[in-house]
Amino acid sequence: MRHLSLPTLLATGLAAATLAVSSQAVAYGAGDFFTRVGVANIAPKSDNGSLAGGAFAVDAQDKTDFAFTLGYRFHDKMGVELLAALPFEHDIELNGDNLASTKHLPPTLTLQYYPLGGSDSQVQPYVGAGINYTRFSDESLAIGELELDDSWGAAAQVGVDLLIDDHWALNAAAWYLDIDTDASINGAGAGTVEIDPMVVMAGLSYRF
What pLDDT, in 10s, does the model give residues 24-37? 445 788 999 999 99
What pLDDT, in 10s, does the model give residues 157-195? 999 999 999 899 999 999 999 999 999 988 888 889 999
DSSP structural state of residue 10: H
Domain 29-207, what architecture? Beta Barrel (2.40)
Cβ(120)–Cβ(89) below 8 Å? no
Cut 0.85: pTM above it:
no
- Residues 178 and 196: their CA atoms lie apart, in Å, by 5
Cβ(58)–Cβ(190) below 8 Å? no
What are the boundaries of each domain within the chain?
Answer: 29-207
